[in-house]
Amino acid sequence: MDGFNVSVAFFVLVVGVCQVLRWLSKRLLSPGTHGCLAREFAGSFQLCMSCLELKMLMEIGPWSGGFGLDVVLTLLFLLSAVHGASFDGASANPTVSLQEFLLLESSLAVTAAKLLAQGVGAGTGWALTRLYWSWELTQLHFIQNLIVPECSSSIRASLPLAAFVEGSCSFLFHLVLLKVRQSHPLYRVSALAATVTFLTYTAGPFTGAFFNPALATATTFHCLGSSFWDYIQVYWLGPLAGMLAALLLFQGNIPRLFQKNLLYSQKSKYKVPKAKVTAQVQSDKPQRKKKGGKSNSEPCA
């Protein structure tokens, strides 16, 4: 368990450093630069380093560290909750940033800046994690450092199935995100953490369950066993298609592309109950009889 304790200390250190980075950027940079660049960089940096260390524990821990999958999944849920609470509004996920663009919540320039910051943050996190592993502080890191140069692809299914799995994970994640995005932070963070844990447990054996293009690019694109185009189809096109499907199902349309609702009919928010209308018509009949002397027609000019 010494290796596990070192990894927990590593997670705490990474979150602490990223929190300091957010605090400094908020005070030293303009709000736009902080929101578009620094915040997304810190979020992707934190997410990538945590994911790489957690992936190492999940793959090596059961047979070398003396702890099972239940421990890793519990740690995954806690880390996901910490990420959701500490990201300060950052998504650290290109498909989420593209979703905000399609919902008319951000401009093209802002979205491009976020994507750039996410890519740089994930790449920096991967490089520093490799450096950290090279110190071989534990037996787990020693083993990981040996297998990193010859890592195998995370795609362990046929290409169509793998793309479908990543797309389905992205679809469910974005559907939950759209549902809880306006909810209380405690409920939103818990729901998203539970969703990430469930998707990782069910889809992890097939593709690693990244459903985050920047994270997948930094984590598995360099591994042997699949071509670059295979990785693009599974880890970029799959999650993008899942996000579009979730947005279309939730909204009925994609505001950036077209305004017409394709799935749901537009109904008036204000309706008069049918019972009240009937009662009012019946109450008007005696008055019409008194005025016109007839009950079946109105006087014409």
Please list the pLDDT of the chain residue by residue as tens digits (301 residues): 678 889 999 999 999 999 999 999 999 888 877 778 999 999 999 999 999 999 999 888 777 666 788 899 999 999 999 999 999 889 999 999 999 999 999 999 999 999 999 999 999 999 999 999 999 898 889 988 888 877 888 999 999 999 999 999 999 999 999 999 989 999 999 999 999 999 999 999 999 999 999 999 998 998 888 999 999 999 999 999 999 999 999 999 899 988 788 778 765 444 555 555 455 545 555 554 444 444 444 444 3
Both tokens of 11, joined, read: 């997670």
Separation in Å, CA 49 to CA 74, 88, 152: 18, 18, 19
pLDDT of 151:
84
CATH architecture of 1-251: Up-down Bundle (1.20)
Strand partners, 152: 224
In whole angstroms, give the CA distance from residue 240 to residue 205: 21
**What pLDDT, on a 0 to 100 scale, did the predictor assign at position 94?**
97
pTM, entire model: 0.85
What is the structure's pLDDT at 266?
Answer: 63
Q: What pLDDT shows up at residue 224?
A: 87
In contact, 174 and 95? CB cutoff 8 Å: yes
Is residue 52 a contact partner of residue 125, using CB atoms and an 8 Å limit?
yes
Structure tokens at 166: 């990543």
Torsion angle of the four alpha carbons 240, 243, 199, 234, in this order, in degrees rounded to the nearest 10: -10
Q: Is 106 left (phi over 0), alpha (psi -120 to 50) or beta?
A: beta
Q: Measuring CA to CA, which residue among 200, 36, 192 is closest to residue 118? A: 36
pLDDT of residue 274: 54
pLDDT number for residue 79 = 95
Q: Quick one: pLDDT at residue 30?
A: 86
